[in-house]
């Protein structure tokens, strides 16, 4: 499958994407995960991206497109991909369209995960993430806590609150989403690719997406 997942920060794109990869071997491509790994490794991209990310601002389109051009041509994308957190702006969506045309591939569907605002806020403030850049498992201190000593149940690394999950950065990320990313909903509606899905439980959402792929 070739899917774009849209949705506000905290809508559960990462969790849904991970579950979808189990369906047919498509890979999850999370620009946020790639950028956090780059920051941790201190690469040139990471150094350039960090200040934007810590404030909850978007990283410039030029950096994102350079990174995604490479990523989408990797061998593991042949069986399909789930784009999680990309595109985030209209220019990124337009560049993606051109890139896919050049590569001779098409998107199956763009799924917009709809989640009520109070649920989003609660999720973002209670979310914790595994600090191991190769794992980045997502926890929730209320509904899915890490081990008692605050470690990841998958890889054992410390589970942390991300720098961009302070209250101030969260508010900024939500504003940035409304201003820059929400317009993608009507962009993809016009392209005839959009499917809105009310998303409260990730497993149910996955089933709805699978059904949408067959319609």
List residues with catalytic annotation.
Answer: 13, 88, 127, 162, 173
52 binding ligand AMP? (CB under 6 A)? yes
Secondary structure class of 135 (helix, strand, coil):
coil
123 binding ligand AMP? (CB under 6 A)? no
Cis peptide bond N-terminal to 111, omega within 30: no
9 binding ligand AMP? (CB under 6 A)? yes
- Per-residue mark of binding to ligand AMP, 74-103 (x: CB under 6 A): -----------xx-x---x-----------
134-173 burial: b if 16+ Cβ within 10 Å, else e: eebbebeeeeeebeeeeebeeeebebeebebbeeebbeeb
Interacting residues with ligand AMP between 159 and 178 (CB under 6 A): 164, 173
Q: What are phi and psi of 78, to 5 degrees?
A: -60, -35
Smallest distance, ligand AMP to C-beta of residue 142, A: 20
User: Residues 209, 20: contact at Cβ < 8 Å?
Assistant: yes
Residue ranges in contact with ligand AMP by CB under 6 A: 9, 31-32, 35, 52-53, 56-59, 64, 85-86, 88, 92, 164, 173
């Amino acid at each position: 499958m070739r899917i774009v997942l849209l949705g506000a920060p905290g809508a559960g794109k990462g969790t849904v994407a991970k579950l979808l990869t189990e369906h047919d071997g498509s890979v999850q491509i999370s620009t946020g995960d790639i950028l956090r790994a780059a920051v941790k490794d201190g690469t040139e991209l990471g150094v350039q991206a960090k200040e934007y990310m810590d404030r909850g601002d978007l990283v410039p389109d030029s950096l994102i497109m350079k990174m995604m051009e490479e990523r989408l041509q990797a061998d593991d994308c042949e069986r399909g991909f789930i784009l999680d957190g990309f595109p985030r702006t209209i220019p990124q969506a337009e560049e993606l369209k051109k890139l896919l045309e050049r590569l001779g591939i098409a998107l199956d569907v763009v799924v917009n995960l709809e989640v009520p605002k109070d649920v989003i806020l609660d999720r973002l403030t209670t979310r914790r993430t595994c600090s191991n850049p190769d794992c980045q498992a997502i926890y929730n201190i209320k509904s899915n806590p890490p081990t008692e000593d605050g470690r990841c149940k998958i890889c054992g690394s410390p589970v942390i609150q991300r720098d961009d999950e302070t209250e101030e950065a969260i508010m900024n990320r939500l504003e940035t989403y409304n201003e820059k990313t929400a317009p993608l909903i009507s962009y993809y509606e016009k392209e005839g690719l959009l499917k809105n899905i009310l998303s409260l439980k990730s497993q149910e959402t996955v089933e709805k997406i699978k059904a949408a792929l067959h319609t």
